[in-house]
Structure 1
Amino acid sequence: MKPTSSKFHRFFAGPSHSLLPLVLLGGVIGILSGLVMFGFLSLLNMTLGWLNGANLEDFESLSPWWRLGLPVLGSLLLILLYRLTPVSGQTVGLAYVLERLQFGRGQLPAANTAFQFMAALIALGTGHSVGREGPAVHMGAGIASLLGQYTDRPPSQLRLLIGCGTAAAISAAFNTPLAGVLFAMEVVLMEYSLLGFAPIIAAAITASAFSGALLGPHSVLQPVRLSLAGYGDIPSLLLTGLWMGLVAVLFHYLVRLFLRFPLNSRAARLLLAGVITGGLALFVPQILGSGYDTINATLDNQLPWLLLLLILGAKLIATAAAIGLGVPGGQIAPMLMLGVCAGGVAGALVPGASEPGLYALLGMAAMMGAVLHAPLAALATVLELSLSAEAMFPAMTVVLSANLVCQHGFRQPSLLLTLLKERGRLLQTHPLRTALAQRYLSELASFRFTEFDIEQGDNNLDAVLEQKLPWVVVRQSEHCYLVEEEAFAEACLTCRQQEDQTLLQALAPLLSDRRQLIELTEDASLLTALKTLQQEETAGFLLPVGRQGLGLVTRRRLVTMLTTDDPIH
């Protein structure tokens, strides 16, 4: 990023520990995300309106040939888009955001964000069984990352701003600010922090208000009014949770099956996804697209359980094929539809179930919670859709039992972790290791040191001594050593007093292996730094720190940060 002296940059760039700039940045991210989502949804609705008329998701009204050919056409357009895009800009989606958070210092390239915009329009506009949530999160996170880099936020705050972008995008796309906030903290950041709540809430409410002003009422799911379950329904709720957990396990299995399908060509994989989706849509057209019309009809008790079971089977295959074969779309909307269909079947068949529509709603939350390991975000979805706190009791019962079956009974990881593992990326999920992996040495760096190169003689020796900074980094050949300023000055004085002693001889006792520094070419996470300290006897690290130049992190500074209340900033 090029340096700038604008008032905007100077205000947001400091101080890094202040909450107010983060909250204001959250608001700016909300506005920008609202604008991007307005453009994205307008183009998508225009495409779907041309295909399906006023009912945007009404793929069922298309002729059989259209239902077969539309996903295949989408695959061909995606293949062309991939051919025209450099490889470095082709990785997209929610899993990519998580990858960049832990392995890329929270820096999301603009090229990938732009590619996600175009690829998602094609995939969603041609009926592939994907959702808009993953692309929305990537676009919101990409905007937040670029703004954070522009304002020189440190990596730990850059990841917080990505949480703001996530919440803003979900809130703008679906008018569900609470679910957006919880999803950002539970799925993307994987932690809840007091510092994070204020900026993320600011981003969510700003995006919701801004997109509402531009788009008007745009909830994709209609609020439901259902008779609620009581304590007598607990056995039925537990059975439903067991059923939903098994459906989630089956979904995991199918996704892994398609991820490992023996086709190496991206073009062939995308084409196969289009053929599978189109072939299934000939007989079950409800599987095309995100399926919000089917979700609303199921919540309204309009579909018989046999049809729901048929849709469930076809949608499981189509969605697993789309995700596993690499169609660049989201996973949440198809997951919600799978949950609604499975829940509707449970409501019709489980003994003692009070109302199929209620169980469809609960199934939607259970599927999302079990597959993504995001129970709180799933419960927030139920709350915002049902507009009733009384729905929380049955929802918690079903979500809990489904999570126990999927996560602990069958030991299934989050779907996002599965996708990353297939790319060779093992995400840290242990709370302590996650915290260390997502914070960086540059946040601890000190610039209170001078450098002295022995091979250049004593030309700048007086200048080094006059600065009286705490540390002197002594360079000898390809090695760097960390020396206290007082010890360095004493060695120099000894050298001057003893004419038969060279400066190198005077400094030699100070240039031991335990004083040697590791010079890095790029920033490293605290987790990587700690592993290095375990393996090597070193005094610390020298590393580039953006516009500020070379920074120093001593072993003592790193240990002090981990063992005391000393804040990073």
Structure 2
Amino acid sequence: MLSGLALVCGVLSSLAMTGMIELLYWLSSTVLPSHSENYEALSPTVRFILPVLACAALTIIWLLVPAKFLKVGIPYVVERLNYHQGNLPLMNAFIQFVGAFIGLFGGLSIGKEGPAVHIGATFGSILAQRFRLSYIAVETLVACGVAGAIAAAFQTPLAGVLFAYEVIFHEYRLRLVLPVLLSSVVATAISQIILGRIEVFELEAVFLPLYQLDMLAAYAVLALCIVVASTLFYQVQRALWRLGSVPLAARFMTVGVLTGLVGLYLPQVLGGGYDTLNSLLQGDILFVSLLGLALAKVLLTSVSIGLGIPGGMVGPTFVIGGMLGAQVSFWFDTQIPVAAELALFVLLGMAGMMATVFQAPLTAIVAMVEMTHTSVTIAPAILVIVVSCTAVRLLFNQDSIFVERLHSLGMVSEWSPVQRVLRQHDVRSVASKVNNFPELLHLERVRDLASGMIDYVSIEKSGHHFIVSVSEMVGKLKELDLGPQPWLMVEGNRQAMDVLRALPGTPVSVVDSSLSLAELLSWLHRHKQHQVLVSFVQQQELWLVTSQQLDQMLLKG
């Protein structure tokens, strides 16, 4: 069932991602000439007014919608996973879609991939909640939605899976990777059917003189540029996070006016910015500094996200890195042909910037391989990514931008080793299955339990549950040799045992299977209980979890 739901999740995530792209392309094409990101062809007045109107529309919507539905984005997904059993409301995803669409159409410097991740994760959460799956299955389906959204955006199935585990969960979960892979592959296939094959780079099979001095210097300079850009990207947002008390209208309109002013002089930074990279790769000449464009893109994106605009950061980081890579390529005269060198450095910049901002090195490397359909650039990519990621961590103590955002809100992005072990195990891996019986139990059924493998049964009386030992129940049958017992009853011309009259059953509470083991342990401590029944409604099963079982599992781990 989990694989079937993963397939459904991949379909829904891909349709959401491709639907946003197609809808944005259709609507933008009615306003922008030639293509959907051709803001350069607009008059200066329109370039200023468009982002201002978009921010005004967002302000009106955000003021009308209840505050609980306004939390959106990847940090919100991680928060719901860590603190709310992965329960992601559909209304928040809808607001995310509407907000990101308006911002992108208005030329704001945000991305569409982050919102698609939120929407895909919501589909996974809703499917898991609908079928009342365990917490570990909820996490798996959320990962399916995240992977499907990224895979559909870039048609990179394996990178989508790694993005889910590196960026959302901060650990690799190979035991549950098959459903996520299925979702990612299905999402990629649907994206290719709807959008066609995305061919961003066409690298020639060239020999890369990796260890020559000029190439090493170029890689070092590129890594340095990425470190500076990613640090600025984080520090600007960090400063703006403190302005949460400023009225929303003031924050949003500041973004609109600032974007409009920058768009007057640098229209290339409006919108996604992928058209600028495509122009570079096609050999077109830009009459502005690439370094200036990258700096403007860093500032506009970080200001937009830092002040609460509901957009993503994945696309802008790609564009910023690509611009930096192209600039470094122009600075150095290497032995690689010009076209191949430019494409190589654009690609290295994209991978390095993404890996550094999100601290997701494997995702960036694999995405680079899948987008270019060649492994020839793996070595230089690893060199740039390792240097830039390590430098940011050591010199500036900077983690993933999403982790830093959660920390600024007083939340944890990673749990203690004990909590991590508990969250990686399913309830049934440490619990004991129990059968649920009424208070009166026929003697033949009691004798049958003696030959079974169940140690405890649950006796239900007036909506309450009591745990009774099977061995003690069977032992009570021997008392019949001494004569009739007060617990002996007759039901339907058959002798039965009034179990709770014969034995002092232990009252026990029943909780839903959506709770993880970590939450069950917390529940036991909070209610000062030593055991609890977990109800799997879909399978109509009851499982007994005791604090002793959890302790034994932790000691073994």
TM over 0.5: yes
The residue that corresponds to 1:541 in the other structure is 532
108, 115, 129: which is aligned to 1:149?
129
Structure-1 separation of matches of 2:417 and 2:205: 38
* Matching of residues 127-166 of structure 1 within 5 Å: 127-166=107-146
The residue that corresponds to 1:323 in the other structure is 305
The residue that corresponds to 2:185 in the other structure is 205
Name the stretch that deviates more: 131-140 or 544-553.
Answer: 544-553
The answer to whether the 8 Å contact 1:148/1:158 transfers is yes
The residue that corresponds to 2:167 in the other structure is 187
The answer to whether the 8 Å contact 1:428/1:437 transfers is no
58, 77, 86: which is aligned to 1:106?
86
TM superposition score normalised by structure 2: 0.82
Structure-2 separation of matches of 1:25 and 1:481: 35
Q: Which secondary structure state, in structure 2, belongs to the residue aligned with residue 148 of structure 1?
A: helix
242, 261, 275: which is aligned to 2:224?
242
Distance 1:504 1:148, change over 3 A: closer
18, 36, 46: which is aligned to 2:16?
36
Distance 1:497 1:34, change over 3 A: closer
Structure-2 separation of matches of 1:483 and 1:223: 69
Q: Give me the identity figure in percent.
A: 33
* Matching of residues 433-472 of structure 1 within 5 Å: 433-437=419-423, 441=427, 446=432, 448=434, 460=439, 470-471=455-456
State the Cα deviation string for residues 540-561 of structure 1 (Å, max 9, x = none).
2345555548753112332444
The residue that corresponds to 2:516 in the other structure is 525
Q: Which secondary structure state, in structure 2, belongs to the residue aligned with residue 389 of structure 1?
A: coil
State the Cα deviation string for residues 223-281 of structure 1 (Å, max 9, x = none).
44485452212243233223312221121111111211264333332222222222221
Distance 1:534 1:31, change over 3 A: closer
Distance 1:498 1:226, change over 3 A: closer
Q: Which secondary structure state, in structure 2, belongs to the residue aligned with residue 253 of structure 1?
A: helix
The residue that corresponds to 2:397 in the other structure is 411
2:546 corresponds to which letter in structure 1? T
Structure-1 separation of matches of 2:536 and 2:88: 18
2:455 corresponds to which letter in structure 1? P
The residue that corresponds to 1:123 in the other structure is 103
302, 312, 316: which is aligned to 1:334?
316
The answer to whether the 8 Å contact 1:225/1:386 transfers is no
The answer to whether the 8 Å contact 2:436/2:460 transfers is no
336, 358, 365: which is aligned to 2:344?
358
CA RMSD of aligned residues (A): 3.8
2:327 corresponds to which letter in structure 1? V
63, 76, 99: which is aligned to 2:43?
63
State the Cα deviation string for residues 126-164 of structure 1 (Å, max 9, x = none).
111111111221222222332333344322122222222
The answer to whether the 8 Å contact 2:135/2:515 transfers is no
The residue that corresponds to 1:169 in the other structure is 149
State the Cα deviation string for residues 61-90 of structure 1 (Å, max 9, x = none).
111122111112111222232244333332
Q: Which secondary structure state, in structure 1, belongs to the residue aligned with residue 544 of structure 2?
A: strand
| 2:263 is equivalent to residue 281 of structure 1 | yes
Distance 1:518 1:164, change over 3 A: same
The residue that corresponds to 2:385 in the other structure is 399
1:256 corresponds to which letter in structure 2? R
Q: How far does residue 430 in structure 1 lie from its aligned partner after superposition?
A: 5.8
| 2:243 is equivalent to residue 261 of structure 1 | yes
Structure-1 separation of matches of 2:510 and 2:29: 57
| 2:169 is equivalent to residue 178 of structure 1 | no
Structure-2 separation of matches of 1:475 and 1:527: 27
| 2:544 is equivalent to residue 556 of structure 1 | no
Q: Which secondary structure state, in structure 2, belongs to the residue aligned with residue 50 of structure 1?
A: helix
The residue that corresponds to 1:457 in the other structure is none
Distance 1:216 1:409, change over 3 A: same
The answer to whether the 8 Å contact 1:368/1:374 transfers is yes
The answer to whether the 8 Å contact 2:512/2:536 transfers is no
The residue that corresponds to 2:469 in the other structure is 484
The residue that corresponds to 1:426 in the other structure is 412
TM superposition score normalised by structure 1: 0.80
83, 87, 91: which is aligned to 2:71?
91
The residue that corresponds to 1:52 in the other structure is 32
The answer to whether the 8 Å contact 2:436/2:542 transfers is no
Structure-1 separation of matches of 2:46 and 2:152: 31
Distance 1:543 1:30, change over 3 A: closer
1:129 corresponds to which letter in structure 2? S
Q: Which secondary structure state, in structure 2, belongs to the residue aligned with residue 231 of structure 1?
A: coil
| 2:207 is equivalent to residue 216 of structure 1 | no
Aligned residues: 529
Q: How far does residue 359 in structure 1 lie from its aligned partner after superposition?
A: 2.4
Give ranges in structure 1 of 5+ residues lacking alignment. 1-11, 13-20, 453-459
The residue that corresponds to 2:490 in the other structure is none
Q: Which secondary structure state, in structure 2, belongs to the residue aligned with residue 91 of structure 1?
A: coil
Distance 1:430 1:303, change over 3 A: farther
The answer to whether the 8 Å contact 2:115/2:311 transfers is yes
2:531 corresponds to which letter in structure 1? G
The answer to whether the 8 Å contact 1:71/1:128 transfers is yes
Distance 1:484 1:405, change over 3 A: same
The answer to whether the 8 Å contact 2:229/2:295 transfers is no
Q: How far does residue 307 in structure 1 lie from its aligned partner after superposition?
A: 1.1
The residue that corresponds to 1:17 in the other structure is none
2:350 corresponds to which letter in structure 1? M
